[in-house]
């Protein structure tokens, strides 16, 4: 039996329940793993609340790292004892042990801990596709990233800085300004006190930016549109402040011939080979010091409710993990 967190109905953190779950043995193309660290991501709250519907009852969580303890008969890539990380469906990472398809796992190289790997997969892979695939950020360009002090934001700022790009970051409090600055942002705007559109236009001499990366959603969408230069792209990759209102295409998009996209990680890493390649890119950034990961907080798996409360209250200002 494995201790797992499950949800039987949608709602607040109180719907997260601790359960003993029988795991069984892996199928031909599956691996059984012992989680040693589990990533805590804002998307987990969307699954819990029902914003992103699940078939209930369900486990929760997309990301983790640990050791392979059993393999299926046709598994070719992994062996018992391998250190692995993963970040994908099927949902159910909040567990001591679980079975996952081998195609969603990657090998962790020496020098990368399970704790770091568990925070890197979703946030690191997201950063990877945002600035190199959804929009290829180039040296010398200036781009805007909302929630710069968050988990993805911290990696994005460092990564952009490492390739010679300039990142403008927005944050929601003065306390988070320093965090963003320490993670590579040349300009940081507290949008609770300043009009970020006005500030972006000042910084860019009224030219605007070619790309805005927005994981906040409802509160920042209209302003993000205003910050874009003609033919710019708004990359909407999250809804931390709530889902977007309906988009008025003639007014919001056509007015400057803009592009709007809502990317997801599964469309950018479609097989195990692409996933391993993407993860290796992140691991190299870590090993060569281009990106530094600082675990902000660790919670026990059984304290998942508290972790979600803190996540939604914006009390977590960096990567956080659950420890089984």
**In-domain check, residue 191:** yes
- Which residue among 247, 262, 277 closes a domain? 262
Same domain for 241 and 273: no
Buried b (16+ CB within 10 A) or exposed e, 267-287: ebbeebeebbebbeebbebbe
pLDDT (0 to 100) of residue 161: 95
Q: Are residues 42 and 109 in the same domain?
A: yes
Same domain? 154 vs 115: no
Query: Given this model, what pLDDT does residue 67 score?
Result: 98
Give CA–CA dist 293/319, Å, rounded.
Answer: 8
pTM above 0.95, yes or no: no
Cβ atoms within 10 Å, residue 102: 22
pLDDT in tens, the chain (324 residues): 899 999 999 999 999 999 999 999 999 999 999 999 999 988 899 999 999 999 999 999 999 999 999 999 999 999 999 999 998 889 999 999 999 999 999 999 999 999 999 988 888 999 999 999 999 999 999 999 999 998 899 999 999 999 999 999 999 899 899 999 999 999 999 998 999 999 999 999 999 999 999 988 888 899 999 999 999 999 998 766 667 778 788 887 999 999 999 998 889 999 999 999 999 999 999 999 999 998 989 999 999 999 999 999 888 877 899 999
Domain boundary among 262, 284, 299: 262
203 assigned to some structural domain: yes
Whether 47 maps to a domain, the answer reads: yes
DSSP codes joined into one string, 15-82: GEEEEEE------TTEEEEEEEEEE--HHHHHHHHTSS--PSSEE---EEEEEEEEE-TT--S--TT-
Q: Does residue 277 share a domain with residue 239?
A: no
Is the domain of 21 the same as that of 61? yes
Domain range for 189: 138-262
CATH code for position 199: 3.40.50.720
> 113 and 148: one domain?
no
* 68 and 166 housed in the same domain: no
Predicted pLDDT at 241: 66
Tell me, what's the pLDDT at 296? 86
Where are the strands (E) in the chain, listed by range? 2-7, 16-21, 30-39, 58-59, 63-71, 83-87, 97-101, 105-107, 142-146, 166-171, 187-190, 209-214, 228-236, 259-261, 297-300, 320-323
Q: Structure tokens of 232?
A: 């710019």
Please check whether residues 275 and 253 belong to one and the same domain: no
If asked whether residues 243 and 174 sit together in one domain, one would say: yes
Do 181 and 89 reside in the same domain of the chain? no
**Residue 267, CA distances (Å) to 65, 129, 145, 180, 236 in order:** 22, 10, 21, 29, 15
**64 falls within a domain:** yes
For residue 71, give Cα distances in angstroms to 43, 87, 106. 29, 19, 14
pLDDT at residue number 102:
96
CATH number of the CATH domain containing 294: 3.90.180.10
Structural domains of the chain, count: 2
pLDDT at 249 (0 to 100): 87
Q: Is residue 222 part of a domain?
A: yes
Predicted pLDDT of residue 120? 87
Give the residue from 262, 279, 313 where a domain finishes: 262
Round to the nearest angstrom and report the end-to-end CA distance of the chain.
Answer: 13
Q: Are residues 211 and 171 in the same domain?
A: yes
My answer on whether 174 and 71 are in the same domain is: no
Look at residue 241 and tell me if it is in a domain: yes
**Considering the domain boundaries, does residue 188 fall inside one?**
yes
Residue 127 within any structural domain of the chain: no
């Amino acid at each position: 039996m494995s201790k797992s967190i499950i949800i039987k109905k949608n709602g607040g953190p109180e719907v997260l329940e601790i359960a003993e779950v029988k795991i069984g043995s892996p199928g031909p193309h599956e691996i059984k793993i012992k989680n040693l660290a589990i990533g805590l991501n804002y998307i987990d709250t969307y699954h819990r609340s029902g914003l992103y519907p699940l078939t209930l009852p369900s486990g929760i969580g997309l990301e983790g790292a640990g050791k392979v303890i059993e393999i299926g008969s046709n598994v070719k890539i992994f062996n018992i004892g391998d250190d692995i990380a993963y970040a994908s469906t099927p949902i159910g990472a909040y567990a001591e042990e679980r079975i996952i398809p081998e195609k969603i796992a990657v090998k962790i190289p020496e020098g990368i801990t399970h704790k770091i790997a568990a925070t890197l997969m979703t946030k690191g892979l997201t950063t990877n596709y945002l600035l190199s695939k959804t929009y290829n950020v180039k040296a010398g360009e200036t781009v805007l990233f909302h929630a710069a002090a968050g988990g993805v934001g911290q990696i994005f700022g460092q990564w952009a800085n490492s390739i010679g790009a300039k990142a403008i970051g927005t944050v929601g409090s003065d306390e988070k300004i320093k965090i963003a600055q320490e993670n590579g942002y040349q300009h940081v705007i507290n949008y609770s006190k300043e009009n970020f559109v006005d500030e972006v236009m000042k910084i860019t001499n009224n030219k605007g930016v070619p790309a805005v990366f927005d994981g906040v959603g409802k509160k920042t969408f209209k302003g993000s549109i205003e910050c874009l230069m003609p033919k710019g792209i708004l990359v909407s990759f999250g809804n931390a402040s709530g889902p977007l209102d309906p988009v008025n295409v003639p007014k919001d998009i056509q007015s400057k011939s803009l592009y709007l996209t809502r990317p997801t990680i599964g469309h950018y890493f479609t097989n195990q080979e692409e996933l391993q390649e993407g993860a290796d890119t992140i691991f190299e950034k870590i090993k060569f010091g281009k990106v530094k990961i600082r675990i902000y907080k660790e919670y026990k798996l059984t304290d998942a409710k508290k972790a979600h409360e803190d996540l939604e209250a914006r009390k977590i200002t960096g990567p956080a993990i659950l420890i089984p």
